[in-house]
Amino acid sequence: MSEETTEANTQDEANIEELDRYECRACGYVYEPNKGSSTGKIPPGTAFSDLPSVWRCPVCGASKAQFMNVGPIEGPSGFKENLGYGLGVNTLTPSQKNILIFGGLALGFLFFLSLYGLR
Ligand SMILES: [Zn+2]
């Protein structure tokens, strides 16, 4: 059985509200309860608080105390998608921005030169 629509649907179990994600403050790794941890042999659906006390960050080996609660999965993941989309759009603007800035500077410099030359 796999539950794919756990986003805003909390009718299933009271457990679900506890499935906050935890981020490693040392390296930024995010433990996602819905996915578990393949390296730590943690089955999907395991809340962070249910992890064994010996569990460590699979990336940097930090202890559980190094992790902080970053909230449930739905908010941040949607935000992340928005970030990716924003980056895709942003790749177009810098070159145009540069042309604008450089053109503006060159114009200003020429204008300054002409003023200076007139005196
Ligand atoms: Zn870490």
Same domain as 67, residue 15: yes
How is residue 31 written in tokens?
């433990």
Q: How far apart are the first and last CA of the chain?
A: 83
DSSP designation for 64: G
Q: What is the tally of structural domains in the chain? A: 2
Residue 33 Cα to ligand 1 middle (Å): 16
pTM score above 0.75: no
Residue 61 Cα to ligand 1 middle (Å): 6
74's enclosing H/E stretch is: helix 74-90
Residue 2 Cα to ligand 1 middle (Å): 28
Which of 1, 2, 42 minimizes the C-alpha distance to 22? 42
The tens place of each residue's pLDDT in the chain, 119 residues long, gives: 555 554 544 444 444 455 899 999 999 999 999 999 877 789 999 999 999 999 999 999 999 999 999 998 665 444 544 444 545 545 557 788 888 888 899 999 998 888 888 76
Same domain as 69, residue 52: yes
Same domain as 12, residue 62: yes
Same domain as 68, residue 24: yes
Domain that residue 113 falls in: 74-119
30's enclosing H/E stretch is: strand 30-31
